[in-house]
Structure 1
Amino acid sequence: MALESAGGSIIAMLAELMVEPVGRQFRYMFCFNNFAQEFKEREENLVSEKDRLQDVVRAPERNAEEIYKDVKKWLEDANNEIEGAKPLENEIGKNGKCFTWCPNCMRQFKLSKALAKKSETFRKLGESSEKFTKVADKRPPQRIEFLTSKEFTPSKSSEEALEQIMEALKDDNVNMIGLYGMGGVGKTTLVKEVGRIATESQLFDEVLMATVSQNPNVIDIQNRMADMLGLKIEENSKEGRADRLRQRLKKVEKMLITLDDVWKHIDLKEIGIPFGDDHRGCKILLTTRRKNICSSMKCQQKVFLRVLPEKEACDLFRINAGLDDGDSTLNEVARDVARECHGLPIALVTMGRALRDESAVKWKRVSKQLKNSQFPDMEQIEEKNAYACLKLSYDYLKSKETKLCFLLCCLFPEDYNIPVEDLTRYAVGYGLHQDGEPIEDAREQVHVAIKDLKACCLLLGTETEEHVRMHDLVRDVAIQIASSKEYGFMVLEKWPTSIESFEGCTTISLMGNKLAELPEGLVCPQLKVLLLELDDGLNVPERFFEGMKEIEVLSLKGGCLSLQSLELSTKLQLSLLTECECKDLISLRKLQGLKILGLMSCLSIEELPDEIGELKELRLLDVTGCQRLRRIPVNLIGRLKKLEELLIGDGSFDGWDVVGCHRRNECKPNRTKFVVSVSRIIIEDTEG
C-alpha cells in the first residue's frame, strides 16, 4: 500500500511538472528549507512593518485625526495575511525530509509551493507600505450644533416656524431667511434642528453655523466656518482671510449658512460669504431678536417664533418642576407661575427646575414675587418676567459657591466657550479656595457648582466637558445681578470716560475686547479682579496699577507688561498672563501672596528667574505654550514647598538643559501625564 501511495504521489507531482517550468518545480522539491527560511524572514519583516505603521498611526488617533482608508486597509490586510499564514507555520514543523519514494514528498512539494506564494505576498504587501508618507488628516469637527439638544421640546409655535423655514429653504427664489423672536424663546435650538434636518435629508452639500452676538468678531466667525470646512486660513489681513474663505465656499454648489444671534446689519462680504449673484447656491438663515434686522438684511422670508401658548407653557413648566397630575394645589399655583413666565421656554425651564421638590409655601411665595417684580429698564413685559424668573432661579441656588461660579461666568464674552479650568483659577483667586485646602478641592467644588447650574439650565453644556456656555439672556441677568452694589462687577467693552465710575468697583472685565489703548492709571481702591485683553505690542503703563492696592486677581492676554509695575500689588493671589511679552520677571519675588502664576504662551520667556523660588505660597505654576523656555534653575521647583501643580507644554522641552542629563533633550518625557513629588504635573505631548 505504501508503494502504491508513493507511486500516486510521484504521478501527481509529475503532472504538476508539466504545468510550470521544470526548473522552478524542481526547486519546490529540493529546496524546501530555502523556501521555509525565506517565508519566515518575509513574515518577520511584514510583522515589523505592521507594528511600525501601527505605532505611527497611534499618535494621530489620540489626536482625533482621521486615519486614511488605504492605511486602515493595509493594516487589516497585513494582519489577515499574518494570521492566515499560521497553518503554514504549523505544516513546516510537521514536514518530513525524505523525497524519493516517500509518502510525504508530494506534501513537501505542495508546501514549498505554498510557502513561495505566501512569501511573495508578504514581500509585495511590505513594499506597498512605503507609499504611506502621511497616514492621517485632521478630522472635520463633528456637526454637534445640528444635533437636537435634550432641551428641545417641539411646540405648536416651533413646528409652525420650522415648516415655514423648510419651505423657504426649498424655494429657489429665497436665499435669505430671518427668524426673529424674543431672547430665550428658542431660536437657536430651532435653527439647530433645521441644520440637523437639512444635513440628514442632504438638502445641501455643506451646512455651516456661526454665532454673531452683539459685538461681532469677524475673525472668530471666519475661524468657525473654516474649522467646519477643514480649511486652514493663513492670511493675516481681513481682506486676505475673507478672500480665502470666499474661494473655498464658492467651490460648494449648495450650502446653508446659519448666522445666529444677529443684533445689527452685518457685511457678508467682509466675512467672506459669497452671496446673491456671487453664489446662487448659498442660502443664509439668520436669527435675531429684532424684526427690523430681517428688513435690514433684506430677508425674503421673515419667520416669527412666538412664545408658547398658555397650555403648552404650563405643561413645559410642570415637566421641569416634576409635578404629577394629581397634585391639584401645586398645579393651580403652577399655572400662575407659568403664566408669569409669559411663554418663554428658558424662563419656564429654569423656574420649574428651581421649584422642583420645594414646598407649597415656597411655590406661593415665588408666584407672589413674580407678580410684584419690577425691572424698569426692560421695554417688554415678557422680557421683564424672563429676567424675574431667571433672577429668582439664581436666588434659590443653595450654595454661595454655586452663586459665585454663576456670576464669574458673566465675565467671559457673550456666546463664549468658558474653560472650566479658568473658572477654577478665578474662583481660587476670588476666595473660594481656603488656605489649608488643596487646589484640587476647589476644582471639585467648581465642578459640583457647574453640575448644579446645568441642572437648572443657568449654564449650558458644550461639545466637551472642559467648557460650558451661558445663554445670552441668562448672561444679561447675571451681569445685572453682578453689577449691583452688593457685588460691584463691571463688564465692559471699552474704558468708560468717567473715572468716578470705578470708585465702588470690585471686578472689571474687558475680556474679548482687544484694547488699543489704556489710561495711564486708575483710582480703583476696592478693585480685586481685573481681566483684560490687549492689542499685540500695547504697553501697559508703568503706573497703571498704582491705584489698585487691593487687587487679588489679574488676567492679561496680549500686550507688553513689566512685572515691576506690579510691585505694589502685594495682595495679588492670582496672575494669569497669556500671549504676553513679560519683562522684569525677577520682580515676581515681591508678590509673596501669589497662589497661582500662569505664564501661558509667553514667547519672550527663555528662562524662569531663580526669584520665583521665593514665592512660598505658590500652589500652581503654568508655563504651557512657552516654546522658547529653555531653562529652569536648579532646585527652583524644590524650593516651592507648597507647589501642588506644575503644567509644562511639550514645546518647552526642545533644547532644555536638564540637570542629570549628559546631552540636551535626553530627559524629554514621552508620556502625557505623570506624577512626581508635587501632586499634579501635566506635560502636553502632542507627538505621543
Structure 2
Amino acid sequence: MYKAFKLSYDSLENDSIRECLLCCALWPEDYEINTFDQLIPCWIGCSIIHEFNVINEAFAKGCSHLESLMAASLLEECIPKGRPLHWYGPCVKMNDVIRDMALLMVSGLEGNKRKWIVKAGIGLSDLPRQEEWQEAERASFMMNKITSLPEYEANFTSSKLSMLILCQNEGLKIIPSSLFASIPRLTYLDLNRCRIRELSMEICSLNELQYLDLSSNLITSLPAEFGCLSKLEYLFLKNNKIMTVPYGTISNLSMLKWLDATTEWWWDELKCFKGRHQLSVRIYIKATTDNIEQLNMLPNVSVWELHLDGKNISELPNYDLGTPQWGCRVSDNLESLNIRSIRLDRLVLATGMDGESSFGCLKKLNFFALEILEEISLNRVLTLQPS
C-alpha cells in the first residue's frame, strides 16, 4: 500500500503540490477541511505558496493545487455535514489510508529526515511529554481537550519546531510565557478557537514567527511588544474582544501581508502602516459612509474580504456600489462582500462603468438580515426582484 501511495505522490507535478498533500494530514482522521478558511491559509502560512502581490493570487494558486490533488484522487471534495455550503464553503477530505501513508512519510521512520507529531482530534487532555516532541519539526494537537499547558523548564528547548497547532482546544485559557522561550525557531502558531484572554509580552521572543492565528478567543488587548514580531506576515485576530491596541502594534509589522480582523481600532493602525508589501485585509466594520471612504484612503492596503454591519446605525451610506465612495482600493481586489442588518430596499452593483469601482474580482456577495431589500441590480440591470 505504501509503495502505491508513494508512486502517486511522486507522480505529482512538483514539490509544492506534494507538500500541500502532506499538510492535509495535520487535521484529524476523516475531517472535512474547509478549503478557504483552513487549508489554503495553512499552505500560505507554511510558505508553500509565497510568491504573490495580493492574497487573491495566493488563493488562486491554492485552488490550482487543490485541483491537482483531486485529479490524482488523493483528496476528495465533500459537502460539509449539517452546514450550508453557501456560508461554510467547500471542503475536502483525505482518505484514512492516504492519511496514514502521509503520516508515515513524515513520522521520522523509513529513513525520512523530517519528523512531525500529529495527535489531532484524539481526546488528549494534556500535551505529550516534552521528550516526545522535542525533536519534531511540526506538531499538531488541534481539536483535543487540552485545558492547560505546563510551565517549561529553562533548559527545555525545541530547537527544530517550526509549526505548533493548538487550535480548537476550547478549554485552553492561558499560554504560559515559558512556552514562547522554549520554541525559538517557530514560524507558524495556530491558537484559533481556544479561550485565551491575554498574551504575555514574551510572545515577542518568537523572532522567526511568520503566521499567527488568534481568531475566536477572548483577547481584550495586545501587548505593546507585539509590534516587535518583525517577520510576521499573516495575522488573524477576528472574533475577539479587542477594542484598542497600543500605537504601532500593527503598523510596525513591516513584513505583514495579510490581516484578518474584527476591529474598532483599524483606522489608526492601518493609516500608519508602512509595510514592505501591499497589505491584504479581511475586515469587519460598521456600515457607515465614513468607514467606507476611509478604506479608500489607506495607503498600500488592498481589501480582500469586507463585512459591513449596519446594526444600530441610523444614517446609512449610498448603496449604489458604483459611486466614488466605493473606489478602487475597496473594489479592485474585493472577492467577498458581506452585508448585514442594513435597512435598504435597493442595492446597485456597478462593475467599472464609471471608472471608479470595478468589483472585477468579486466572487461572493452575501446578505444577512436585510428585511426590506426588494431588488438588486448589476450595472443598472435588474437581477433580483422578489415577488
Q: Same fold by TM (over 0.5)?
A: yes
Match of 1:460 in 2: 76
Aligned partner of 1:501 in structure 2 is 132
Do the aligned partners of residues 672 and 395 (structure 1) sit closer, same or farther apart at CA in structure 2, a change above 3 Å counting? Answer: farther
| Map of 1:586 onto structure 2 | 224
TM-score by length of structure 2 reads 0.67
C-alpha RMSD of the superposition: 3.2
| Alpha-carbon distance, 1:670 to partner | 5.1
Of 102, 105, 114, the residue aligned with 1:487 is: 114
- Describe the shift of the 1:497–1:598 C-alpha distance in structure 2 as closer, same or farther (beyond 3 A): closer
Q: Contact between 2:288 and 2:315, CA under 8 Å: does it hold in 1?
A: no
> CA 1:475–1:614 in structure 2 vs 1: closer, same or farther (change >3 Å)?
same
2:8 maps to 1:393: yes
User: Do the aligned partners of residues 539 and 668 (structure 1) sit closer, same or farther apart at CA in structure 2, a change above 3 Å counting?
Assistant: farther
| Cα distance in 1 between the residues matched to 2:185 and 2:316 | 42
Alignment of 1:552-631 (within 5 A): 552-557=187-192, 558-560=194-196, 561-562=198-199, 564-582=201-219, 583-602=221-240, 604-611=241-248, 612-623=250-261, 626=262, 629-631=263-265
The answer to whether the Cα contact below 8 Å between 2:159 and 2:183 also exists between their aligned partners in 1 is: yes
Could you tell me how far apart the structure 1 residues matched to 2:59 and 2:113 are? 25
1:622 to partner: Cα distance? 0.6
Matches of 2:159 and 2:321, distance apart in 1: 44
Which of 76, 98, 102 is the equivalent residue of 1:478?
102
Q: TM-score normalized by structure 1?
A: 0.39
Question: Which position in structure 2 is the counterpart of 1:443?
Answer: 59
Q: Whole-Å Cα distance in 2 between the matches of residues 586 and 579 of structure 1? A: 21
Corresponding position of 1:548: 183
Residue of structure 2 equivalent to 1:267: none
1:586 is displaced (CA, Å) by 2.8
1:516 matched to 2:147: yes
Distance 2:40 2:78 in 1: 17
Highest RCO, 1 vs 2 (Cα 8 Å, sep ≥ 6): 2
Which residue is 1:680 aligned to? 333
How far is the alpha carbon of 1:620 from its aligned partner? Answer: 0.8
Q: Please report how far the alpha carbon of residue 591 of structure 1 lies from its aligned counterpart in structure 2 after TM superposition.
A: 0.7
Q: What SS class does the counterpart of residue 191 from structure 2 fall into? A: strand
- Deviation digits for residues 617-673 of structure 1 (CA, Å, limit 9, x no counterpart): 1111111xx3xx433243624524423421123xx4279984979x97757685999
Whose helix fraction is larger, Structure 1's or Structure 2's? 1
Contact 1:655 1:665 in 2 (8 A): no
Closer/same/farther in 2, CA of residues 523 and 458 from structure 1, 3 Å limit: same
Contact 1:538 1:559 (C-alpha < 8 Å) held by counterparts: yes
Local SS of the residue matching 1:461: strand
Per the alignment, do residues 658 and 667 of structure 1 end up closer, same or farther by CA in structure 2, a change over 3 Å counting? farther
Where structure 2 has 5 or more consecutive residues not aligned to the other structure, the ranges are 80-84, 295-311, 342-366, 368-387
Partners of 1:456 and 1:669 lie apart in 2 by: 48
Query: Which amino acid counterpart does residue 680 of structure 1 have in structure 2?
Result: N
CA offset digits 1:461-497 (Å, max 9, x no partner): 0235632111122111111112234332110144554
* Counterparts of 2:160 and 2:56, CA distance in 1: 29
Task: Determine if contact 1:648/1:683 at 8 Å carries over to the other structure.
Answer: no
Give the AA of the match of 2:77.
G
* SS of match in other structure, 1:588: helix
Q: How does 1:217-232 map to 2 (within 5 A)?
A: none
**Structure 2: which amino acid aligns with 1:519?**
P
Over 3 Å counting, the alpha-carbon distance change for 1:496 and 1:636 in structure 2 is closer
1:32-111 aligned at under 5 Å gives the runs none
Q: Could you give the per-residue CA deviations for residues 554-608 of structure 1, whole angstroms, max 9, x where no partner exists?
A: 1112121405231110111111112112243433211111111101211x21235
Distance 1:635 1:498 in 2: 41
The answer for the alignment partner of 1:531 in structure 2 is 165
Q: Distance in 1 between matches of 2:320 and 2:147?
A: 41
| Structure 1 pair 404–537 and aligned structure 2 pair: CA distance change class (3 A) | closer
Judged with a 3 Å threshold, the aligned counterparts in structure 2 of structure 1 residues 671 and 565 are, in CA distance, closer, same or farther, namely farther
Amino acid aligned to 2:270: L
Aligned residue type for 1:401: S
Give distance in 2, aligned partners of 1:426 and 1:635.
26
2:297 is matched with none
Question: What is the 5 A alignment of 1:237-316?
Answer: none
Q: Show the counterpart of 1:653.
A: 286
Q: Amino acid of the residue matched to residue 567 of structure 1?
A: C
User: Which 4+ residue blocks in structure 1 deviate beyond 6 angstroms?
Assistant: 654-657, 671-675
Q: Please report how far the alpha carbon of residue 550 of structure 1 lies from its aligned counterpart in structure 2 after TM superposition.
A: 0.8
Structure 1 stretches lacking a partner, 5+ long: 1-384
Distance 1:596 1:635, change over 3 A: closer
CA contact (8 A) 2:127 2:146 kept: no
Q: Is the 8 A contact 1:454 1:461 kept in 2?
A: yes
Q: Which residue of 1 aligns with 2:383?
A: none
Contact 1:516–1:538 under 8 Å retained in 2: yes
Aligned to 1:42: none
Paired AA for residue 475 in structure 1: R
Q: Secondary structure at the match of 1:525?
A: coil
- Cα 1:619–1:636, aligned 2, differ >3 Å: closer, same or farther? same
Give distance in 1, aligned partners of 2:225 and 2:258: 18
Q: CA 1:444–1:544 in structure 2 vs 1: closer, same or farther (change >3 Å)?
A: same
Determine the C-alpha separation between the residues in 2 that align with 1:671 and 1:517. 50
Q: Distance in 2 between matches of 1:668 and 1:531?
A: 41
Amino acid at match of 2:253: L
CA contact (8 A) 2:54 2:278 kept: no
**Aligned equivalents of 2:135, 2:99: Cα separation in 1:** 22
C-alpha spacing 1:460/1:669, structure 2 compared with 1 (3 Å): farther
